[in-house]
Structure 1
Amino acid sequence: MKLEVYLSGEIHTDWRDKIIQACQESDLDISFTSAVTHHETSDGAGDHLGAEEKQFWRDHKSAKVNAMKTKTLIERCDIAVIRFGDKYKQWNAAFDAGYCAALNKPYITLHSEDIIHPLKEVDASAQAWASSVEQVIATLKYISTK
């Protein structure tokens, strides 16, 4: 079964690369998409629309440009994997999870046990919670195999 998987959330570790590599090595028919994972590029996504004096308006403009990309990729995917890391609060990941839930789009959350409580609503709408990349890979293998 061909799957389109959207990878959302934390950008400070190589979790995306590990999932993609393992799925390729297992010859799974999965294609992956993701939001922009380079901070400076994401922060400046709206810069081509004109300079702003205040940081708020630069962030606001870039957030809207990024949202066009994110919404399009989430709407097109079959499943999303949403990673919440330890280093920063990933508000964008929580937003992506909410958007998936609103669209009735299946998603897997990926995070450590120490943040179960703050993510209880996000996890409650997820079809699966994984605490490791290996669990995500096993889930994708199960879903994509006939």
Structure 2
Amino acid sequence: MNLNVYLAGQIHDDWREDVKQKAKEKNLPLQFFEPMTNHDRSDDIGEEILGKQPDAIFKDEAASAINNLRTKILMQKSDVVIALFGEDYKQWNAAMDVGSAVALGKPVILIRPSSLHHPAKEMANRAQLVVTDIDQALQALSYIFETE
């Protein structure tokens, strides 16, 4: 059995590469999907596909529609969603992704430090599991594959 994992949440650091590397070291049969983490590509995709927009708001709306399409398709292909709610960045994407995953009936593992218990309490309440770091999330996924 393989699991498809969508890596949701903040996009401005390399936490996804850390997850992938640690999963590989543990020989976990996981395939990963993720949002577009190239910020410029994500911001410009609307105009690339739909043409020049009249102002920055329309440019953002066009990009958002295409990025939301991508996210929904990849999240639907996933068996589980890992969402990181971290210390350093605004977390709108993590909150939205958790809501989308729940709406799609996907189990969610929320990674958030204990210090962010209060601002992440609603997301935590909707997740199947709340952990404080990547290692705990991967340990939980590893447990799924145990047979004895």
Corresponding residue for residue 72 of structure 2: 71
The offset of 1:144, in angstroms, is 3.2
State the superposition RMSD in angstroms: 1.2
In structure 1, the gaps of 5 or more residues are none
- Whether 1:41 aligns to 2:67 is no
- More relative contact order, 1 or 2 (CA 8 Å, 6+ apart): 1
2:15 maps to amino acid: W
Q: Report the secondary structure of 1:97's partner residue.
A: helix
C-alpha displacement at 1:12, in angstroms? 2.4
TM-score, normalised to structure 1, is 0.94
2:99 is matched by which residue type in structure 1?
Answer: G
Q: d(CA) in 2 for partners of 1:3 and 1:69?
A: 19
Q: Which deviations, in whole Å up to 9, do the C-alpha atoms of 1:68-105 show, x marking residues without a partner?
A: 10000111100000011222212122111001111221
- Paired-residue identity, %: 37
Match of 1:81 in 2: 82
- The answer to whether the 8 Å contact 2:85/2:120 transfers is no
Partner of 1:13: 13
CA distance in 2, matches of 1:57, 1:79: 33
The list of structure 1 runs, each at least 4 consecutive aligned residues, that deviate by more than 4 angstroms after superposition, is none
Post-superposition offset of 1:13: 2.3
Q: How does 1:83-98 map to 2 (within 5 A)?
A: 83-98=84-99
CA distance in 1, matches of 2:40, 2:76: 25
Cα distance between partner residues in 2 of 1:47 and 1:144: 43
SS at match of 1:44: helix
- Partner in structure 1 of residue 144 of structure 2: 143
Look up the match of 1:100.
101
Contact 1:2–1:144, Cα closer than 8 Å, also in 2: no
Q: Contact 1:83/1:109 (CA < 8 Å) preserved in 2?
A: yes
The count of residues paired between Structure 1 and Structure 2 equals: 146
Q: Which residue of 1 aligns with 2:131?
A: 130
* Residue identity matched to 2:109: I
After superposition, give the CA deviation of every residue in 1:31-68 in whole Å (9 maximum; x if it has no partner): 00101011111111211111123111100000000001
8 Å contact 1:112–1:131 — kept in the other structure? Answer: yes
Q: Residues 145 and 73 from structure 1, CA distance in 2 versus in 1: closer, same or farther, beyond 3 angstroms?
A: farther
| 2:22 partner amino acid | A
Could you say which residue in structure 1 is the equivalent of 2:31?
31
